[in-house]
Every structure is written in structure tokens, then in C-alpha cells.
Amino acid sequence: MDLQARMQRLTDWLLGTEPAMRIRMGMASFAVLMMALCIVVVLMLVHAGFGHKDWAWWWALCTAGGLISVLVLIRSGWSLRLQDPSMTQWQIRYALACNAAAYVLLGQARGVTPVILSLVLMFGIFGMTARQLAANMAYALLVFGAALATVAMLDEPGRSPALEAAHGAMIVLVLMGSTFIAIRLQHIRRRLTQQKHQLSQALERISHLATHDELTGLVNRRHMTELIGVERQRCERAGRPLVLAILDLDHFKSINDSEGHAVGDQVLQAFARTVQATVRNTDMLARWGGEEFVLMLYDSDAASALGLLERVRAKVQAMELPFDGRSVRVTVSMGVALSRPGEPLERLLERADIALYAAKSQGRNRVVLQDEATPGV
């Protein structure tokens, strides 16, 4: 086994293979690494003569042990039973307590702890709410207040009350500044998320408008042409014809002229709903233009297509649309054509249009199959 494969196996063993687990372990491992570097800094200061040597190693052991325990709990899957499987809040507050303890043991070098404090507060900032951030600030004030009180109570030689006051003020400033920045970033992130959602909705709307008719909500002519092309290929592979019907509302222009275009629009919408409620879910209805529609019937033959379209014709004829105390009624004429092997789409639609013309010529409100209308065409 080569080195790369061994490293991959080791990484999988440490971090897991499940994506969410790898993210949790990656973040927790980064936190442990940061705290390990802080431990090294503290031990270097103690070795240089600052602080309490007898406390330092116990402090380092407790700090590292607590954070490594988090890694074990996350990697074992035990943390999944918690509301926060990443244990972010636990890690932050444990690190704050360890940082406050480091303030006590570092003696004159304790001015380094506000820097470590700012690192701890920034960890997990994007995964916390404003309430959690405020709670962490209050907790930090509590533990550092206890640390300041402990230092005052020990009253070590060389302690400067003025310097301790300056340290305390700096800690408060770091806490308030870090929390304010974190909350501000949360607001920015929330606004960006909202804008992203709005943009996504706008893109969906644009995509829908590009493929659908705005008035009826049906597929538009361009998209229907693409769908017909795909279905034709499927039909040819299956060795059966594609069934297309052109539907045209009878005397629709007179409705627009006498009732107005607003009523005409409502008629088109009602017609689209009625046809869609009558045909099968697999059939596709599109607005072709004006009062003309195209219906593509899936897995159908001439007999079943004519039966279905007769039901559509009857449903449309039975529609009664009330407007201003009176009702408007409409009928529909339909021309049907079945595709022939190798026939261009334009020719198929032309034959369906010929059948529609025949339906109009025969008195409207009827369904005509192209082969019956003009057998020689």
C-alpha cells in the first residue's frame, strides 16, 4: 500500500467518512490545534520565569484533556444525541474557563490572555445565534471576574493593582468588541442568506417565465416544441406514433370584442384548468398562441385519443363562467394527427392544423382526426 493510500486510511479513521462527521471533526480538531498552540505559549512563558510552574503542567493537562475528550465524544458518535453534535458551546466555555485559569497562573505575563480570549470568542462565530454570543460574553465576564478576584486575593509579590485594573479593562473591551463584531457579522450573514434566497426565487421565476405562459401557467410554445422533440424520439424507438392535437376556442374574438380582454383572459385561464383536469397527468398541454393550444398525448393511439378529446370537448362545452350577473359559455374545436415515421414536426403540426380547419368547417365544437378529414394529405 502506497503512502497516499495509508494517509487516506488514517484520515478516514481520524475524521470519519461521513461528510457531516468530517466537518464536525475538522472544526473540533482545528480548535484543539489552536488551544495546543496557546498551551505552548503559556508553558514557554512559565519556563521563562513567569507564573507558577507547579500549576502550569496541571493546567496544560486539564486544558488539553478536556478538548481531546470532545474529539473522542464527537468521533465516537456519542455527541449525536445532543442538540449540538459539534459541542461548540461546550468547547468555547471550557476554553474560556481554561483561559481564565491561565490568567491566574501567568503572573506578570497574564497580559497575553486577552489575545487568547479573542481567539476563543471567534471560534464557531458563524454557527451561533446572537443570544448564544451574548451568553458567552456573560459567562466570560463571570469566569474572568473570578480570576481577577483570585489574583487580588493571592496578592502576589510585585502585583500592581493599576496593571490588574488595566488587564481587567482590556478583557472587558475584548469581550464587548468581539461580541459586537460577532453579532454584526451574524446580521450580515442573515441578510446575505435572505438575499441569496430572494435571488434563488427570482431565478426560479425567470426560469419559469422562460418556459411557461404567464397568463395560463401552461408550457409555452418554445418549451413545448422541445418536449415534443424528445417525445417523438421516444415514440420512434418504441415503434408507435406520437399523438398531437391542436385546440382552438370557437368565436373567441367575439368574446374579447363584446366582453373585453379581461373576461377573455379569464376564459383562457378557465379553459386551461378544465382541460388539465380532464386529461391524464402524463399528457402535456401548452398555449401555442392566442386562443390556440397544443395537447401532446403520451402512450396513446387514435381510438383512445379521440375518446379522451371527446371528454375534453364535453367538459369545455359544459363550462359556465359567470360575469356581472350573466354567464359566458365557450366551445372548442380540435384537430388530431398521428405522426408518421421520419416525418418532420412541422409537417405533423400542419396535418393537425388541417384537421382543425376541417372541424371548424364542419360546424365547430367537434374533434376531427386528420386522416378522416383529408385521407390523401
The answer to whether residue 226 is catalytic is: no
Question: Which cell goes with 195?
Answer: 438575499
Q: Using an 8 Å Cβ cutoff, are 312 and 334 in contact?
A: yes
Amino acid present at 32: V
| CB count in 10 Å sphere of residue 336 | 28
Residue among 275, 270, 279 at smallest CA distance from 320: 270
Nearest-angstrom CA–CA distance, 296 and 285 = 6
Nearest-angstrom CA–CA distance, 374 and 350 = 12
Q: Using an 8 Å Cβ cutoff, are 249 and 330 in contact?
A: yes
Q: Using an 8 Å Cβ cutoff, are 89 and 133 in contact?
A: no
Burial annotation 147-165 (CB, 10 A radius, 16+ → b, else e): bbeebeeeeeeeeeeeeee
Which listed residue (259, 291, 292, 310) is catalytic? 291
Helix (H, G, I), strand (E, B), or coil: what is residue 215?
coil
Sign of CA dihedral 75, 77, 81, 84: positive
Nearest-angstrom CA–CA distance, 246 and 280 = 17
Nearest-angstrom CA–CA distance, 86 and 356 = 66
Residues with a catalytic annotation lie at 291
